[in-house]
Structure 1
Amino acid sequence: MTRLGAGLLIVALLGGCHAADSTYQGYVEAEFVDVASSQAGRLETLSVRRGDQVPAQAPLFALDAQPERAQQQQAAQQLAAAQAQLADLQTGKRPPEVAAVRAQLAEAQATARNAATLRARDEALIGSGAISQAQFDASRAADDESAARVRQLQNELTVASLPGRAQQLAALSAQVEAARAALDQANWRLSEKTMSALRAGRVYDTLYRAGEWVAAGSPVVRLLPADHIKIRFFVPESVVGALHAGQTVTLHCDGCAKPVAATIRYVSSQAEYTPPVIYSNETRAKLVFMVEAWPAPADAAALHPGQPVSVTRP
């Protein structure tokens, strides 16, 4: 039946009985929760079946996660490497390297002492003409060179105990943060391969079978939480003004053990399911307005989407 045809049928029903007994026709409607992964992959495990009642956090399905696990491992190793480089730069040279510089310094200091002794001796001899000027110049140059070597190694020893320069530390710190962000992203992608129910509900349908390829964002499981079931019914123009959000109505359906209370949450401000008409006193009775009412979750469990209901109001 078309939407327009269903509306005409409802109008006919309303015209025959609403004014007499305040009973209105409607149906059960559901707001489904389609559970999907943001990642694509082959459906590896489907943990539920159609009709199952699942609690919150229950596993629903899992996609093949081998590529994501490899990416996570790679990101973790890159983070470890960046952290090691930063730690190495912060601590300066290793103890064996520092010890080697100290040994070189001790050797240079011994050489410098010998050079200083030779220079002092040659200075005493040059005045008496016992040695040539060239020999004295050579001993003086050797003393200056050995003293410079000592100063060089002393500076190297000081630098060896210092951390890296501020700019180098900042660059490596940024690399560590980038690697940590990449690992967080890899962990999130991996977590998206296994989906669980965020809320308790009934498995209304499963849309894929194990082994099938699932595109990113494609729903695999359709859940129906108990508090996502509502009633839509239709009232004539003469009645809609008396209904408001928060008002309680009573539902009647075939197979229901007892009447079910529901609370109105929405009253449409526009006429629906009506043919084009010229509004007049005679045609206004053909207008209907859609109203939505929500039963308590405990009562909603016995209702089924598409089920016809009758609604009465106080």
Structure 2
Amino acid sequence: MKRGALASLAVLALAACQPRPPAAINGYVEAEFIRVAAPLAGRLVALSVQRGQQVAAGAPLFVLEHDSEAAAVSESQARVAQSEAQVRDLARGQRRDELAAAQAALDAGRAALAQSESDLKRERELAQSGFTSGATLTAALARRNADAARVRQLEAQLRTARQGAREDTQAAALAQAAAARAALEQSRWRLAQKSVTAPVTARVEDTLYRVGEWVNAGSPVVSLLEPGALKLRFFVPENLLAQLQPGSAVQAECDGCGAPFSATVRRVASEAEFTPPVIYSKENRQRLVFMVEASPSPQDAQKLRPGLPVQLRQIVSSVK
């Protein structure tokens, strides 16, 4: 009996000396949601999705009231049309009838000049024969000079009418047209922001407003979850921290998930979640835990849900 008891004690002592597998480290699944919002405020007039629905990238999500933005687009379009018409008008010059009137005035001036030149020639001939006075000749010369100046004036006016507005005036009109087009683009952008589509293919995790409610600018209306946009979050004691660095592979399991699955460590917190108040002894070092985040493969992520408890069972490999 004594010999059997000693043998049993030896077996128990040997078993106690064997390394024990580490206890499971508890954690949970956390999702990285995409919270879709509009940059402008407005009343929610349409919600095109429901919780749990799968949506493709570009699918409509919701619409805010946009009567004011649509009216602003119409106003901007009218201003663009007005400014562009003004540019064309200034570049084209005066209208056809105005040019015809200027031409007629020039023709009349040339006829008057021809008549005054004929009168001046006759008065000079009479003056040479002594049949007219010097004063009459001087008056005829003045009339001829005045008619010549009038013709030059009318010719300049006709050239100006054909050329259109001055270069500076046309440049100002072009700048005004460019400003009107820019204002139109702004109005169109504001209108487009009232109809929001899905940025990626994802599942609708939650809808945060109901139709008819007022939505502030930047407030999320729909929460999306991309396939595989899940991560495992654990709190690891400091004695395992050296083995868990970004790039390390760990093995985890959860209830109802089937066989254990692997995940890759992406982030290790730089500070402990709980720090002992006095000194670092062997006992209080156990209170030091560091947050570790790991990403499962897209295939394994499909069987996980946000908030699901998971356990870290094994460190498969660590970064040296």
Residue matched to 1:254: 255
The Cα of 1:27 is off from its aligned counterpart by: 0.2
For the 8 Å contact 2:276–2:284, the answer to whether it is kept is no
Letter aligned with residue 251 of structure 1: A
Q: Specify whether residues 197 and 19 from structure 1 end up closer, same or farther in structure 2 by C-alpha distance, changes over 3 A only.
A: farther
1:1-314, aligned counterparts within 5 Å? 20-21=21-22, 23-273=24-274, 276-312=277-313, 313-314=315-316
Unaligned stretches of 5+ in structure 2?
A: 1-18
Letter aligned with residue 214 of structure 1: V
Residue matched to 1:3: none
Distance 1:69 1:44 in 2: 15
**1:115-136 Cα shifts (integer Å, max 9, x gaps):** 2111211222234454455544
What SS does the corresponding residue of 2:258 show, helix, strand or coil?
coil
Distance 2:51 2:87 in 1: 53
The Cα of 1:19 is off from its aligned counterpart by: 6.1
For the 8 Å contact 1:277–1:283, the answer to whether it is kept is no
The Cα of 1:184 is off from its aligned counterpart by: 1.4
Distance 1:227 1:98 in 2: 74
For the 8 Å contact 2:37–2:220, the answer to whether it is kept is yes
Letter aligned with residue 139 of structure 1: A
Distance 1:288 1:152 in 2: 96
For the 8 Å contact 2:204–2:222, the answer to whether it is kept is yes
The Cα of 1:260 is off from its aligned counterpart by: 2.8
What SS does the corresponding residue of 2:221 show, helix, strand or coil?
strand
What SS does the corresponding residue of 1:25 show, helix, strand or coil?
strand
For the 8 Å contact 1:226–1:298, the answer to whether it is kept is no
For the 8 Å contact 2:56–2:200, the answer to whether it is kept is yes
| Aligned residue-pair number | 297
What SS does the corresponding residue of 1:241 show, helix, strand or coil?
helix
What SS does the corresponding residue of 1:169 show, helix, strand or coil?
helix
Normalised by the length of structure 2, the TM-score is 0.86
- Which deviates more from structure 2 when the two are superposed, residues 208-217 or residues 251-260? 251-260
The Cα of 1:218 is off from its aligned counterpart by: 1.1
Letter aligned with residue 61 of structure 1: F
Unaligned stretches of 5+ in structure 1?
A: 1-17
Distance 1:306 1:263 in 2: 19
* TM-align CA RMSD: 2.1
What SS does the corresponding residue of 2:286 show, helix, strand or coil?
helix
Normalised by the length of structure 1, the TM-score is 0.87
Question: Percent identical across equivalent pairs?
Answer: 47
What SS does the corresponding residue of 2:154 show, helix, strand or coil?
helix
What SS does the corresponding residue of 2:163 show, helix, strand or coil?
coil
Distance 1:22 1:178 in 2: 69
